[in-house]
Amino acid sequence: MEHEEKLINKDQEEEMEIYGYNFCRWKLALVLGGVLCTGGFLLLLLYWMPEWRVKATCRRAPLRGCQVVLLRTTDEFHSWFCARVRVVLSLGSSPLQTPAFVAEKMTNGIRDHSCPGASEESDRHRCSPGHLQEIRHFTHHSVKYFWDEGGQNFGSIKGLDESVSCSSIHHEHSTGLGKGIREYRKLFYGVNEIAVKVPSVFKLLIKEVLNPFYIFQLFSVILWTTDEYYYYALAIVIMSLVSIMSSLYTIRKQYMMLHDMVAAHSIVRVSVSAADRGLEEILSTDLVPGDVIVIPLNGMIMPCDAVLLSGTCIVNESMLTGESVPVTKTNLPHPTEDPQAPEAETYSPEGHRRHTLFCGTTVIQTRFYAAELVKAVVVRTGFSTSKGQLVRSILYPKPTDFKLYRDAYMFLLFLVGVAAVGFLYTVVNSILHKVPASIIIIESLDIITITVPPALPAAMTAGIVYAQRRLKKVGIFCISPQRINICGQLNLICFDKTGTLTEDGLDLWGIQRVENARFLLPQENAFSKLLVKSPFVACMAACHSLTKIEGVISGDPLDLKMFEATGWILEEATEEETTLHNRIMPTVVRPPKQLLPEPQPAANKDLELFELPATYEIGIVRQFPFSSALQRMCVVARALGQKKMDAYVKGAPEMVAGLCKLETVPADFERVLEEYTKQGLRVIAVAHRRLESRLTWHRVQNVAREAIETNMDFLGLIIMQNKLKQETPAVLEDLHKANIRTVMVTGDNLLTAVSVARDCGMIQPPDKEIPVKLAPENLEDLPVTKYHFAMSGKSFAVIQEHFQDLVPKLVLHGTVFARMAPDQKTQLVEALQNVDYYVGMCGDGANDCGALKRAHGGISLSELEASVASPFTSRTPSISCVPNLIREGRAALVTSFCVFKFMALYSIIQYLSVTLLYSMLSNLGDLQFLFIDLAVILVLVFTMSLNPAWKELVAQRPPAGLISGPLLCSVVSQILICFGFQTVGFLWVRQQPWYEPWTPHSDACRPSGAPGANASAHGNGTLHDEHNIRNYENTTLFFISCFQYLTVAVAFSKGKPFRQPCHKNYLFVLSVMVLYALTLFIMLHPIGAIDWALELVCVPFPWRVTMLIIVLLNGAVSILVENALLDTVLWKVLFRRDKQRDFRPPSSHPPQGPWQRCSLPALLGFRKAPPKAKYAHLAQELLVDPDWPPKPSTTTEARAPAQENGSCLVLSAT
């Protein structure tokens, strides 16, 4: 039981297994010895592997007394972390309890049993260790985890945001804290600061340099320096320094940007209401949960999460929601003042958003009454706040899981295996030839650096960097470059509706009033003298949360449009007026004078108030803000001169109609509503009620919302139009042509969302008529094979909770998800990922942050702070950025494949050349290596990555990983071709009649006894070639291999359908032509100085022509095999198989004919291969499932006319 596995953050996103360990002296001694023996390499290995580090230096121990904890995430990545357990001394074990004795100076030392600060003997006695207890904790990802004696486990401590009732916030936490209690709580919660420390350049440098690739480069540079290979070593050093500096600049810039984002409210002075001292000013860093802060009149940037106790605040929450719309926050209802408020209701920041001020949001202004201060209780501080959690998600992102990167590491391991074979071969061969030990060590290690190229990381990054630059040119900014490759695999895109597919603003389409339970004819606007005093227009003018900020009316765009449509004027009470009155009509709305009838002078001219009858004003007495859970808002208002007050409600038609008296709701209400929603119009219902005279101003302030919102009179409908963005249909059509699924995730009405989906082309029936209700029994005879699910957030929540097995089936055909809460959007993205979709998410930042972060490729159309967690941000608020991102992602992905294949071939070609030369105790020369590595390889790598993306999206997707049939066949075939031609050249040169083992006096360029000497052989007698570099085999392999590098670069530089053709990459074409010409010139027209520098020997001209023929044949075979055989036969065979595995709506699959069943895929054994992706496998199962789609019984379903076989059924679950 001691070593029982336990979990922390159970059932949460950051759930982890936790294990306890204690330091072990003999293990530490062994590790120290190992570090010394390995020259520090063991220390590096333990630095890279936290699990090994802990297990190598510690022994398992119970969690209760452990010194170190080892953590492992329970997600698919199983990442390991370790943390040191700290011990502090405290007067209590719970932060929210009040200890019997609270010292003015708290102990805050590690294992410090003294009481610093207690100078008096009495103080020492009072603060004796007997009063203190040890509190054990550790910190992981900026969150403190404390030991819980009751649960026998570590856990993160909570503030007032969990398990605290609303009544206790008013009764127990509204008086503020004393200094002692604040210091006591600060011991647990720490400093109230979202600390994003910008690491020093030195720290970042050390962390970057300790990357395994750079360590390998350092090893290579040391080895090459030992082997006197200075030039390339210097080149690698320079290239590594440039790469490190570029990486340091990018990382530091991101840290500084994040630091600046949170620094605005890091340290400010705030006024707190202290329990024992009244008001006092303290630093915001000293705030703890339970403190009562005073919100100043001119507002502030919130340094914490707090719940309002009194007054109201106008807040800009763009940092959280992405919507720069002022929101009105009201005080948390007091149970004693509000009889209907439940005493035991538990407070939660999300459930009581309308009463909570979130960290980082800006309080623009406050409203208070009768000189009452606007107060709020701190509920969360530091990284526990809403903004802290956002910053944590950026500081500690989840690892990127992409098959390409997994396969890349596997391929590197394969190259290491090849290097090991070469290593053993070199050692054995050298020992047999009695080569000195020092040379054996250098040459055998050198074969490793040849096989695993140190320049690989820089080469792989080049394509991503170029893609990032191209994205920046089209206004797409990226904070996670590795995600660009993943975007090349996206096959499903989720779109928000409002502001993404449709325009941000709403326009008033018209109004339709109700009189005597009958709908009147629709009217275009409400700006009319006839309607000025009607309850309908009064509701439009008064039922809103608009406010004036610096003289400008601000608020929800929907409210603003409705209010502007009335033409009324809004006036707010001044600061002086609010201090004189007690919550009396702070906001007044009135119609403009031109809408009012002309004032009639009274018969008695002596009356001064003869114009009063013509004055019409409505004062808003109390607001019940809009609630997404209730789907409505309500206000209580009073018209000037009226004794009774009025209640006005507006909201979702179904909800509002349910609050009204049945006799006031038209019988054709549902039919009229559906007629509007099927046109994609947004419909809002309004209702009115004349309140009883007993409800005075003071009683209205304390009355329950439910008591007001009942027995209403239905007034009619307000119809708003939300137009599609101009580019939306075309973009979605491009995505459909590319076999990319599109899904709508919105908070809007279900039928409206379905209508917009039809209009924009997500759902493509024969016509665009909204489906009508269908009786369940009719579904059995419905001749449809293509269908879409449309469901509301409520249905999605029920299915998620109670019918988990249905979720994969529903998301497979789900196209419209309406009334979705922000966390449900994230759950939907996860559900789609669970069936192996590569999911993209496009939203405007409002309530989409979680989904944007969770998706494989999240792109925000908002540049506000809320989008900072999104991997991509578009400067242009248009979904046209989505195809651009996918195209660039595909181009970058294919470029990564090309570069990786080329670098692999470069390593293998050089490995083959060196291995053949090692067989005769020879090698390539230093300048030969330098020419190949710098002049050929680096130039080709950095220019072949420049191909821009293809101009349009195609139906194919590039492979996701390197371990795939076409890519492996391509690499293996090129390796065999290169090996064959190198072997032919190596053996054939030895069969030439002029061949003899080369010596400094050899001269094969002239017949024996001919006078004179070739320029390249001049002075041969003075040459000393201790490494046996100069020989005929070396010269032959050097020229053949140089052309092989150029050939495979051309063969691997694929263009269509993912990149522009190779010939459009002018720098690459120029580089290849120049290198071809230069190598041909050196081979066919030898110059003594060049041959001497490259350590080449003179060979007869006929052999040079023979080498040219070998090179030309090699090039022809390589390009023929790569572009003709692999691309036209094997690639298409495998792609067709993958294409058939991908899910398409069943109606789009033509029946397979006999020729398909007997085609090459069948011959190659691919005919019955099961789909790899879960969604494709599931789609095949559902095709033969007689019970799918389910026959609705309690759901509402709708369909388009089904006269044709290709009709589209929309099943909507409400």
DSSP 512-566: EEEETTEE---BS-S--TTTTTSHHHHHHHHSS--EEETTEEES-HHHHHHHHHH
Q: Is the pLDDT of residue 576 over 80?
A: no
Tokens of 160: 């007032």
Looking at the predicted structure, is the pLDDT value of residue 981 above 90?
Answer: yes
Average pLDDT over residues 1147-1168: 42
Structure tokens at 721: 């139009």
Please say if the pLDDT value at position 883 is more than 80. Answer: yes
Question: DSSP states of 689-709 as a string?
Answer: EEPPTT--HHHHHHS-HHHHS
Neighbours of 138 (CB within 10 A): 21
269-274 and 278-283 as β-strands: parallel, antiparallel, unpaired? antiparallel
Select which of 291, 305, 496, 844 is catalytic.
496
- When pLDDT is averaged across residues 1063-1089 and rounded to a whole number, the result is 90
Residue 83 above 80 pLDDT? yes
Specify the range with the lowest mean pLDDT, choosing from 371-375, 532-536, 877-881, 1112-1116.
371-375
Report residue 339: phi and psi, to 5°: -60, -25
User: Catalytic annotation on 781?
Assistant: no
What gap in Å lies between CA 979 and CA 411, rounded to an integer? Answer: 19
Q: Flag whether pLDDT at 972 surpasses 70.
A: yes
Range in 178-192, 213-227, 760-774, 959-973 with the lowest mean pLDDT: 760-774
CB 759 within 8 A of CB 768: yes
Strands 569-572 and 587-590: antiparallel
> Does the pLDDT at position 346 exceed 90?
no
Question: Cβ of 247: how many Cβ atoms within 10 Å?
Answer: 15
Query: Bigger pLDDT: 1195 or 1042?
Result: 1042
The tens digit of pLDDT for each residue in 689-714 reads 988 888 877 778 778 788 888 889 99
475-479 CB contacts, 8 Å cutoff, 24+ apart: 475/874, 475/875, 475/876, 475/881, 476/859, 476/872, 476/873, 476/874, 476/875, 476/881, 476/884, 476/885, 477/872, 477/873, 477/874, 477/875, 478/871, 478/872, 479/254, 479/868, 479/870, 479/871, 479/872, 479/873
Condensed to tens digits (0 to 9), the pLDDT of residues 515-553 reads 888 888 888 877 777 778 888 988 988 898 888 777 778
- Mean predicted confidence (pLDDT) in 1172-1177: 79
pLDDT band at 751 (very low <50, low <70, confident <90, very high): confident
Tell me how far apart the alpha carbons of residues 658 and 655 are, in angstroms, rounded to a whole number: 5
Lowest mean pLDDT among 132-136, 835-839, 1112-1116: 132-136
Task: Name the residue among 782, 863, 820 with its Cα closest to residue 257.
Answer: 863
Mean local confidence (pLDDT), 1098-1107? 90
Sheet holding 278-283, edge to edge: 278-283, 269-274, 292-294, 375-380, 305-308, 356-357
Contact indicator for 290, 377 with CB cutoff of 8 Å: yes
Q: Which helix (H) or strand (E) holds 623?
A: strand 618-627
The residues near 327 (Cβ < 8 Å, ≥ 6 apart) are 314, 315, 316, 317, 545
Answer yes or no: is pLDDT of 150 > 90. Answer: no
**Separation of alpha carbons 619 and 224, rounded Å:** 85
Per-chain mean pLDDT for the chain: 77
**Which of these ranges, 212-226, 266-280, 890-904, 1038-1052, has the smallest mean pLDDT?**
266-280
Residue 1027: which pLDDT band, with cuts at 50, 70 and 90? low
Token representation of residue 370: 């009768």
Q: What is the mean pLDDT of residues 957-978?
A: 82
Question: Is residue 972 a contact partner of residue 964, using CB atoms and an 8 Å limit?
Answer: no
Give Cβ neighbours of residue 962 (< 8 Å, ≥ 6 apart): 404, 407, 408, 410, 411, 897, 900, 968
Q: What tokens does 765 get?
A: 């029936």
Contact, 666 vs 518, CB < 8 A? yes
Average pLDDT over residues 731-760: 85
Of the pLDDT bands very low, low, confident and very high (cuts 50, 70, 90), residue 197 is confident
Is residue 501's pLDDT more than 70?
Answer: yes
Nearest Cα neighbor of 353 from 313, 402, 307 is 307
Distance CA 143, CA 381 (A): 11
- State mean pLDDT over 390-413: 74
Q: What is the pLDDT of residues 13-52, one digit of tens each?
A: 788 899 999 999 999 999 999 888 888 888 888 888 888 9
- Beta strands 68-73 and 741-745 are unpaired
Say whether pLDDT at 1018 is over 70. no
Separation of alpha carbons 765 and 770, rounded Å: 10
Residue 623, pLDDT > 50, answer yes
Strands (E), 368-491: 375-380, 476-478
Residues facing 721 on adjacent strands: 507, 681
Region 912-923: what's the mean pLDDT? 86
Residue 204: pLDDT band (50, 70, 90) is confident
**Residue 115: which pLDDT band, with cuts at 50, 70 and 90?**
very low
Return the DSSP state at 341: S
Distance CA 390, CA 385 (A): 9
How far does Cα 724 stand from its chain's mean position? Answer: 26
The pLDDT-based confidence of 1 (bands split at 50, 70, 90) is very low
Higher-pLDDT residue of 434, 708: 708
By mean pLDDT, which of 739-743, 1015-1019, 1044-1048 is the weakest? 1015-1019
What gap in Å lies between CA 658 and CA 1081, rounded to an integer? 89
Count of other CB atoms within 10 angstroms of residue 652: 17
Q: State the pLDDT at residue 687.
A: 93
> What value, to the nearest 5°, has the Cα angle with vertex 705 and ends 704 and 711?
110
Q: Which two tokens stand for residue 143?
A: 């969150």
In order of 422, 436, 438, 443, 999, the CA distances from 430 in angstroms are 12, 8, 11, 9, 21
Q: Is the dihedral of CA 1030, 1033, 1039, 1045 positive or negative?
A: negative
Question: What sections of 881-1031 are H helices per DSSP?
Answer: 881-918, 926-930, 939-944, 965-988
Determine the 3-state secondary structure of 48 from DSSP. Answer: helix
The mean pLDDT value for 763-791 works out to 50
Distance separating the N- and C-terminal Cα atoms of the chain: 49
